[in-house]
């Protein structure tokens, strides 16, 4: 049985530790702490010819004040606009020239910049990505140009009700708290935010102790550490002797509420999310909740798919999902249907949530839920990018690294009683509902009663 590797344990700068030996379904995972608290974690995949390199920063939209709403995502864009060594075209061209893929994303609790290249081009990827993260110029002209790009992104997001309804749901569930605000910010916040505010946010939040460098693929850990140390040498001189920042502390969860929010739009489909607060990512019951979500709305054999789509033909898309944060989470059900069918779909979704909360799953559903969760986990780790993300999140978010076999074991150990208990604790609450569609006077209160 694989041991739990405590990624967040105290470790002297410059020392290297093996987290997993690579004998149980995964490659060898190693960790080195550099000056300033910067951590480097790698997973060796010697049978592939690619490598994925990422810099993860412990900053996301939940770290923003209302006046800085959207700043984390704004920074993600701006770091591609140029450094003292490269302008935006050079950053793009140098990666295109080797056939590499480079991108970034922002979440509620972290931001990631990554590149996927041939193993021989890994030094280039390290140099470019680290240069962007550590030495962005944040020129006033670039801030203004990117402001327009982000406003277009917000408009595009708002034009897709299947995406926008999730922001509406988060806003209704968590209110005007950081978790309730959209990652992209709002038109008002993006239009008003100043370059000086973004630059200050950059200096405060992009610190070496809040970063994790992760790489997976055909790589050599010692060589990568040398490349990363060189790339961040200037930042390390200014950082001082800081230990790595621990994962976000699980504290008092933000207040949540039950209610209904309807956004009127003259569109042909109703988009809805019905859900409740879920579990934080440190809660061991997350494995049982994952099995529950798979059985309830995770596949074609799930209850929701069968009851809503297969038996009644009420919707094309219906599924359940979970999201975890440091101190809370989300369990939600999404459906898209014709407006005239929205009450039927809501009745079925609510009935199924109540049924599972009261009675749990059947033996057959438990087995299917476990199988689907196990399969999606293993199949999702077939490429270097997913492996890189796994070890980075283990270090930055969880503070521990479980082997793939350990995760599979925990899934397999979930019992009907475990599912029933976690269902009662989460799904037994009064839900929150968000709806986008052609509704002006429709009464949805019965769905959350």
Catalytic residues: 76
Q: Tokens for 300, please give them.
A: 């074609």
Residues 347 and 357: their CA atoms lie apart, in Å, by 15
Dihedral (CA of 91, 93, 98, 104) sign? positive
Nearest of 174, 182, 238 to residue 64 by alpha carbon: 182
Helices (H), 175-285: 187-192, 195-205, 221-231, 233-239
Which DSSP string corresponds to 281-327?
A: TT-TTHHHHHHHHHHHHSSTTSHHIIIIIITT--EEEEEEEEEE-SS
**Strand, coil or helix: what is 78?**
helix
Cross-strand partners of 437: 264
Burial class (CB in 10 A: 0-12, 13-18, 19+), 303: buried
Q: Tokens for 23, please give them.
A: 């004998």
Residues 64 and 184: their CA atoms lie apart, in Å, by 11
Please report where in the chains the tokens 């020129």 appear, as a residue.
139
Residues 278 and 324: their CA atoms lie apart, in Å, by 7
Per-residue CA distances from 155 to 66, 182, 186, 270 (Å): 20, 13, 10, 19
């Amino acid at each position: 049985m694989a041991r739990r590797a405590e990624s967040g344990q105290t470790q002297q700068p410059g020392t290297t530790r093996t987290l997993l030996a690579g004998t149980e379904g995964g490659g060898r995972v190693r960790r080195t702490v550099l000056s300033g608290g910067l951590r480097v974690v790698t997973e060796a995949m010697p049978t592939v010819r690619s490598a994925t390199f990422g810099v993860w920063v412990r900053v996301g939209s939940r770290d923003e004040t209302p006046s800085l709403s959207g700043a984390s995502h704004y920074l993600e864009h701006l770091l591609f606009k140029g450094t003292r060594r490269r302008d935006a075209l050079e950053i793009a061209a140098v990666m295109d020239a080797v056939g590499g893929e480079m991108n970034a994303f922002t979440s509620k609790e972290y931001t990631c910049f990554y590149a996927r290249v041939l193993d021989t081009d890994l030094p280039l990827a390290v140099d470019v990505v680290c240069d962007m993260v550590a030495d962005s110029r944040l020129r006033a002209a670039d801030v203004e140009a990117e402001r327009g790009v982000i406003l277009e992104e917000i408009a595009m997001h708002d034009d897709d009700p299947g995406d926008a309804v999730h922001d509406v749901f988060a806003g209704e569930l968590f209110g005007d708290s950081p978790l309730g605000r959209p990652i992209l910010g709002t038109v008002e916040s993006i239009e008003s935010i100043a370059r000086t505010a973004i630059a200050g946010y950059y200096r405060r939040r992009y610190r070496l102790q809040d970063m994790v460098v992760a790489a997976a693929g055909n790589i050599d850990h010692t060589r990568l550490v040398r490349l990363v140390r060189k790339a961040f040498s200037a930042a390390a001189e200014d950082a001082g002797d800081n230990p790595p920042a621990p994962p976000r502390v699980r504290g008092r969860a933000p207040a949540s509420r039950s209610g209904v929010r309807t956004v009127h739009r003259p569109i042909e489909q109703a988009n809805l999310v019905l859900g409740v607060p879920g579990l934080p990512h440190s809660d061991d019951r997350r494995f049982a909740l994952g099995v529950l979500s798979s059985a309830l709305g995770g596949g074609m054999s799930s209850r929701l798919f069968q009851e809503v789509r297969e038996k009644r033909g009420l919707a094309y898309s219906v599924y359940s999902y979970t999201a975890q944060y440091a101190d809370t989470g989300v369990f939600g059900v999404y459906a898209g249907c014709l407006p005239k069918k929205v009450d039927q779909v809501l009745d079925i979704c609510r009935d199924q949530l109540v049924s599972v909360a009261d009675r749990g799953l059947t033996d057959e559903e438990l087995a299917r839920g476990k199988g689907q969760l196990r399969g999606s986990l293993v199949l999702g780790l077939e490429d270097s990018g997913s492996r890189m993300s796994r070890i980075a999140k283990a270090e930055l978010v969880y503070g521990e690294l479980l082997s793939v076999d350990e995760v599979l074991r925990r899934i397999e150990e979930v019992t009907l009683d475990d599912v029933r208990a976690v269902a009662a604790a989460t799904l037994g609450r009064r839900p929150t509902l968000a709806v986008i569609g052609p509704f002006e006077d429709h009464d949805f209160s019965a769905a959350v009663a």
